[in-house]
């Protein structure tokens, strides 16, 4: 076989291949179709259940059978994806209208997974059967070959309700994501009917019918004014809150009960919410909660917070909304496949696509019904005419030799070869001109049809057929008639399947959480060399002063309303509220500082720890490993952020000292190679915290600053170098940016 070499650019081939793959994921797996609101796996699963006859009024069937049949016939992407889609369609806490009736363990709102498919059973819900799969036998949608061209599957289901809005959608494709909230079936149907009557309705007018999302978990949408823009653009963020109720209990106490949660909390996030509430208690953000229990059951959500007597209910509500996921955002991106390509759609566009699809379905349905009625009329008229000349037809039958001979006589009036009793009968027979379908119906007619009552029934059926033809013709030729039929069906679905709205829509002010005022009192902050911190009362410290000073690296006298400044070698400043530090007994172990602020002991080390109130009116001196020095006004660190850059560092540099120094004090820099340089602190310029600083000591190549000492007042610190003691205050005073000396000891 002759081969042909095709030369092509590798990047072009890769680009085309990736685009083909991306479009396959987008169109065939991840995104729903705007017409039926279903992804391919959902569509194929529902159609397979329909084909298997697993209807709402029939027994349940094993999910393993449904999954296996769907995978073998229509969806060759693995059983887990099919079963997961089946489970989600059966979970009424995820869908506005569950499409599958599950029997067995199909998971829970708290994130419990469904049982294996061999244990669970399922069947179609009634709404799925009557509003999603009806009329498939009337050629209302196109069918195409399955993956191996051995079966036919519908390209879209004839869904009669705007399922994309009612059940929403979530999916991640290549480079795009869809996230559509659920809506109330009754409201959506009302909006569709209003738009059928007036196609020029604006999004604002449509929102008189569709107030906003309606999540199966209830809750409260608190940014009503932003919904118009979200529905016009198809994108935005919906703010959701859970619903809180206050219950009275014995002893003049109260409890807070969460009866509805944000839709985003379903699953594992309920457990995370309980942990968040527990953390609020542990960190003393609130002292009003004495116990928390999850009493949720099949009847609904019920999370109970037991409160102490005299608890501040309003502040606690605000704290829960602000600090936990009881208030959350639902990101909206109404992306769907429209006319074969992904498109972000607004509310009006989705309804337009749905209405166009409904008119297409109705047109194909009634055209098909009209064709059937026309054929029925033709046959009925032939039978009625045959009854009038039944004696002649019997004479033709008796005088003919074959069925074909009789049929030619009935259709074309051919009488050759047929024996007639009289010539008059032959001439009459020659005038017969039935159509072929009429002739076949006459030949297939049974003798009992000649009974008088049967003929009357035939005449009534013919009258009904004529009425049907007139009705179907009117529907096909008259927009108002077809619209009336569609709206009548929608009214029936609304009456049977609609339910009251669960999610409230309102405008609520942004939660402003006022910090709870605490009684100001002096405390002692203790931090050991391992980074464990705690605070104790001043009297406790005085009784244990010797042990505290020996065991702790930092001992700071401060107020419980103060902040602690932690300077690190990476040049960062971490701020820690004293109120967040555990307060208790002297022998308590304390809490790692990593848990209370952004400090990370695996990436940086603390160089200096000070109270913020102690430094805001002073000047701090910074010294780095590469001998860069500067002074910074302490007021620059009077900030409320948890972490800021305390200084700017050069590459491979690190902070070695941060010190609050007096104006007349001296600073001594020591290098790794044993050089000492003493000079006045006043020679160090005052700069901003964002500055690098100036050189404090000339270092030889490979040398670096190893230690920093301050001489203040009458102090006479000493250091040991090469087993020799060096008295710092006896060093000769030099000037900044000099090499320094090597003391002899």
Active site residues: 119
DSSP-derived secondary structure for 230-293: HHHHSEEEEEEE-EEEEEEEGGGEEEEEEEE--GGGSSTHHHHHHHHHHHHHHTTS-S-EEEEE
Cα(419)–Cα(409) distance, integer angstroms:
12
Cβ proximity of 660 and 610 under 8 Å: yes
The DSSP code sequence of 657-698 is EEEE--TT-EEEEEETTS-EEEEEGGGSPB--TTS--EE-B-
Task: Name the strands in the sheet holding 643-645, side by side, starting at the edge strand that comes first in the sequence.
Answer: 606-611, 563-568, 572-577, 643-645
The token pair at 448 is 């009992």
Chain centre distance of CA 537: 48
> Can you read off the two tokens belonging to residue 200?
């020029």
Within 10 angstroms of residue 590's Cβ, the number of other Cβ atoms is 19
Q: Write the DSSP assignment of 183-214 as a string of letters.
A: --HHHHHHHHHHHHH-TT--HHHHTTT--S--
Rounded CA separation 131/489 (Å) = 9
Is the Cβ–Cβ distance between 277 and 291 less than 8 Å? Answer: no
* 61-62 and 121-124 beta bridge pairing: antiparallel
Q: How far apart are CA 219 and CA 27, in angstroms?
A: 33
- CB atoms inside a 10 Å sphere around CB 275: 10
For residues 408 and 236, what is the distance between their CA atoms, to the nearest angstrom?
A: 72
Longest dimension (CA), the chain: 154
Tokens of 460: 């009534």
Q: CB within 8 A of 252, min separation 6: which ones? A: 309
Q: Produce one character per residue of 226-244: b if its CB has 16 or more CB atoms within 10 Å, e if not.
A: bbbebbbbbebebbbbbbb
* Residues 6+ positions from 680 with CB-CB distance below 8 Å: 664, 665, 666, 667, 733
3-state secondary structure 312-353: CHHHHHHHHHHHCCCEEEEEEECEEEECCEEEECCHHHHHHH
Nearest-angstrom CA–CA distance, 717 and 714? 10
Q: Are 162 and 188 in contact (CB under 8 A)?
A: yes
3-state helix, strand, coil in the chain (%, to 5): 40, 25, 40
Beta bridge partners of 727: 718
Integer Cα distance of 495 and 190 in angstroms: 12
Tell me the two tokens of residue 8: 């092509």
> How far is the C-alpha of 320 from the C-alpha of 285, rounded, in Å?
11
Token duo for residue 145 = 């070959």
In angstroms, the Cα distances linking 514 to 246, 285, 541 are 21, 11, 32
**3 state SS for 570-609:** CCEEEEEEHHHCCECCCCCCCEEHHHCCCCCCCCCCEEEE
CA distance 367 to 230: 39
């Amino acid at each position: 076989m002759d081969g042909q070499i095709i030369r092509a650019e590798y990047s072009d081939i890769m680009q085309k291949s990736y685009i083909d793959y991306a479009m396959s994921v987008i169109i065939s797996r991840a995104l729903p179709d705007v017409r039926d609101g279903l992804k391919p796996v959902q569509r194929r699963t529902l159609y397979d259940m329909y084909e298997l006859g697993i209807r709402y009024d029939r027994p349940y069937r094993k999910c393993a059978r449904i999954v296996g049949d769907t995978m073998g016939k229509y969806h060759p992407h693995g059983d887990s994806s099919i079963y997961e889609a089946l489970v989600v369609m059966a979970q009424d806490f995820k869908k506005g209208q569950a499409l599958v009736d599950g029997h067995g363990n199909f998971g829970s709102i708290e994130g419990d997974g469904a049982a294996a498919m061999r244990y669970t059973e399922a069947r179609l819900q009634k709404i799925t059967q009557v509003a999603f799969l009806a009329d498939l036998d009337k050629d209302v949608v196109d069918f195409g070959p399955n993956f191996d061209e051995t079966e036919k599957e519908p390209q879209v289901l004839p869904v009669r309700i705007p399922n994309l809005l009612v059940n929403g959608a979530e999916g991640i494709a290549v480079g795009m994501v869809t996230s559509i909230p659920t809506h109330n079936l009754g409201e959506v149907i009302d909006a569709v009917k209003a738009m059928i009557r007036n196609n020029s309705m604006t999004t604002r007018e449509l929102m008189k019918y569709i107030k906003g999302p309606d999540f199966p978990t209830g809750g409260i949408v608190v940014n009503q004014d932003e919904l118009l823009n979200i529905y016009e653009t198809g994108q935005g963020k919906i703010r959701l809150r859970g619903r809180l109720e206050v219950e009275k209990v014995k002893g003049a106490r109260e409890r807070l009960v969460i009866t509805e949660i944000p839709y985003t909390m379903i699953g594992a996030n309920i457990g995370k919410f309980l942990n968040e509430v527990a953390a609020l208690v542990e960190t003393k953000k609130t002292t009003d909660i004495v116990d928390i229990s999850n009493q949720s059951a099949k009847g609904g959500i019920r999370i109970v917070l037991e409160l102490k007597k005299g608890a501040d209910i309003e502040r606690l509500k605000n704290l829960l909304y602000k600090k936990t996921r009881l208030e959350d955002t639902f990101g909206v991106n109404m992306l769907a496949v429209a006319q074969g390509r992904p498109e972000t759609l607004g509310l009006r566009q989705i309804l337009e696509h749905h209405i166009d699809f409904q008119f297409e379905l109705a047109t194909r349905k009634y055209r098909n019904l009209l064709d059937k009625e026309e054929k029925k009329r033709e046959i009925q008229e032939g039978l009625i005419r045959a009854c009038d000349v039944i004696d002649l037809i019997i004479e033709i039958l008796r005088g003919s030799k074959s069925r074909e001979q009789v049929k030619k006589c009935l259709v074309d009036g051919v009488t050759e070869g047929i024996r007639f009793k009289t010539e008059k009968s032959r001439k009459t027979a020659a005038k017969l001109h039935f159509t072929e379908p009429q002739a076949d119906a006459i030949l297939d007619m049974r003798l009992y049809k000649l009974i008088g009552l049967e003929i009357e029934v035939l005449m009534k059926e013919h009258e009904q057929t004529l009425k049907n033809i007139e009705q179907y013709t009117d529907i096909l030729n008259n927009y108002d008639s077809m619209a009336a039929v569609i709206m009548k069906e929608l009214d029936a679905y609304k009456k049977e399947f609609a339910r009251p709205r669960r999610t409230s829509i309102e405008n609520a002010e942004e939660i402003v959480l006022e910090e709870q005022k605490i009684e100001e009192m002096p405390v002692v902050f203790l931090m050991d060399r391992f980074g464990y911190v705690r605070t104790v009362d001043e009297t406790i410290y005085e009784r244990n002063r010797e042990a505290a000073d020996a065991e702790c690296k930092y001992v700071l006298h401060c107020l419980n309303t103060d902040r602690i400044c932690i300077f690190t070698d990476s040049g960062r400043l971490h701020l820690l509220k004293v109120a967040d530090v555990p307060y208790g007994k002297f022998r308590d172990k304390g809490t790692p500082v990593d848990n209370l602020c952004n400090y990370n002991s695996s990436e940086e080390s603390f160089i200096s720890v000070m109270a913020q109130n102690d430094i805001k009116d002073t000047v701090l001196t910074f010294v780095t490993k590469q001998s860069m020095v500067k002074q910074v006004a302490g007021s620059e660190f009077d900030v409320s952020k948890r972490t800021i850059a305390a200084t700017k560092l050069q590459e491979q540099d690190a902070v070695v000292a941060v010190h609050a120094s007096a104006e007349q004090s001296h600073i001594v820099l020591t290098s790794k190679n044993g050089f000492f340089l003493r000079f006045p602190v006043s020679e160090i310029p005052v700069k901003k915290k964002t500055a690098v600083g100036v050189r404090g000591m000339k270092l030889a190549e490979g040398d670096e600053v190893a230690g920093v000492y301050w001489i203040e007042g009458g102090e006479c610190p000493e250091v040991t170098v090469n087993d020799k003691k060096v008295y710092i205050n006896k060093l000769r005073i030099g000037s900044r940016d000099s090499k320094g000396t090597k003391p002899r000891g």
